[in-house]
Amino acid sequence: MSEDQNQHGEDDQTEDLYPLTRERLYELAWSEPMLSIAKKYGVSSSFLARVCTRMNVPRPAPGYWTKVECGKAVTRPPLPEARPEDELQWDRHNDAPPRQRAELRAPAKKPRKIQRKQKRPATHKMIAGAKAHFLKTRNPRYGYLRPYKWILVDIIVSEKGLEQALNLANTLFWAFEDFGYRVTYSTPNEYTNRPRVDEREVPKKERDPYHDRHWSPSRATIVYVGDVAFGLTLIEISKNVEVRYRNGDWIPVSELKEPKTKTYGISTTIHEDRPAGKFVLQAYSAYAGTDWTMRWDLPSNRNVSNLGHRIAKELHAACPEILAQIERVKIEQEKRHAEYEEWKYKHEQERLEELWDKANSNSKHQLSQIISDWGVAKQIESFFLELERSASDLPPQKKALVSERVKAVLEYVGSPDAIAELLSWRSPRERMDALGESLPDSVSSPNKSA
């Protein structure tokens, strides 16, 4: 088999493998070991396991295939329904495939707490290990932590309020989970509707949009109420206080210890917004184009778990509005897409019309040139042949000389090859084909353009 044939066969085999759907991956995962499937797709088994996780496809636990070989009874869980964040297909050779997602469905009419068979851990997965990452921070210019890690729970907080904020978030997240509302990170590049944070207790005027004073995570913190995604941000409220410049930093005057001895020099004080130790939870619609935001105060002297249950119910009640906004955005996007397609079609037709006019003009010019060259050549030939005939009465010696000169002129001028010239002529359609362009609708489908 030649190299080209072998390459063609590999391409056909690759086309059969991709795109890999959830259903196909599920069947493969429970029909042969992950190592052999991964080899077939040219990836590692650990990479393919991550694909299973992204697509929410259950896979056999370690030791499963050993039990199968020994004839022991094994169980195969069903393929769960796709969640909103689950990918529906995967293609290794497509760097940025379209993220095909399941359609959003409205949650149950009434939120209900779920009965758990197993005891859950004290710390939610979103909170576990977060404290150490928050403390590895850039210079907190306005008192708020700005951690280096980008994939973290969405909390705007000072170092002093960090412990309380993490406890509040942990309690709230478990309160949401009591209703089966999953709290997790958004999928990469999926939700981009996180509003800018204004932590001020009493906002007076809009801040400079190009100067963001707060850290923001690369992936939003999401709670799924059924299929509907709400973004969550826990914010420590700021208060406007007087600060004084000391030792290279601006320190709240209330935290300064005045020196016993008198100091000389300029002592400058200004007013800035600084963390005040009070917290609010901000929830927002995580879908681009929608506009829904709500805040709840989180007092430290109340049962936050009960407040979390109430917030969960209010999020549930907001789902119809979010779904309606998503539908409006979808209709608007389809309208804009249709307008864009119409604009693109119009400009493409104008471009093709311009090319067609140019091709038409060139074809006419080439044809005119062939006719003109042929006419000039024939005119010259006729003139000299007539001259030669008029010299028939001359003496033989002079007649021979004229004939010789006429022959030399005709050889010099030449005679155009009309057939070759005709064969080299190209019609406007042939010129468009040579450019790899299609014909404008006014030519290919006159009725359509009319």
Each residue's pLDDT tens digit, 250-305: 777 777 776 545 555 556 778 777 888 899 999 999 998 899 999 999 987 678 99
The answer to whether the CB of 243 falls within 8 A of the CB of 269 is: yes
Read off the pLDDT of residues 71-130 as tens digits, 9 standing for 90 and up: 898 899 999 988 877 888 888 877 544 455 556 777 777 888 887 777 889 999 999 999
* Structure confidence at residue 209 (pLDDT): 59
Residue 213 pLDDT > 80: no
* Structure confidence at residue 252 (pLDDT): 77
| Cα-to-chain-centroid distance, residue 288 | 12
* Structure confidence at residue 164 (pLDDT): 94
Task: Count the residues in the chain.
Answer: 450
Mean of per-residue pLDDT scores for the chain: 84
Q: Give the Cβ contact number of residue 27 at 10 Å.
A: 13
Q: Which of 177, 94, 173, 161 has the alpha carbon at shortest distance from 126?
A: 173
Residue 7 pLDDT > 50: no
Give me the half-sphere count of Cα atoms (radius 13 Å) on the Cβ side of residue 136: 8
Residue 371: pLDDT band with limits 50, 70, 90: confident
* Structure confidence at residue 155 (pLDDT): 96
Read off the pLDDT of residues 296-336 as tens digits, 9 standing for 90 and up: 999 876 789 999 999 999 999 999 999 999 999 999 999 99
Residue 207 pLDDT > 70: no
Q: Which of 158, 284, 298 has the alpha carbon at shortest distance from 221?
A: 284
Averaged over 389-399, what is the pLDDT? Answer: 82
* Structure confidence at residue 421 (pLDDT): 81
* Structure confidence at residue 212 (pLDDT): 62
The answer to whether the CB of 80 falls within 8 A of the CB of 58 is: yes
pTM for this prediction: 0.71
* Structure confidence at residue 8 (pLDDT): 46
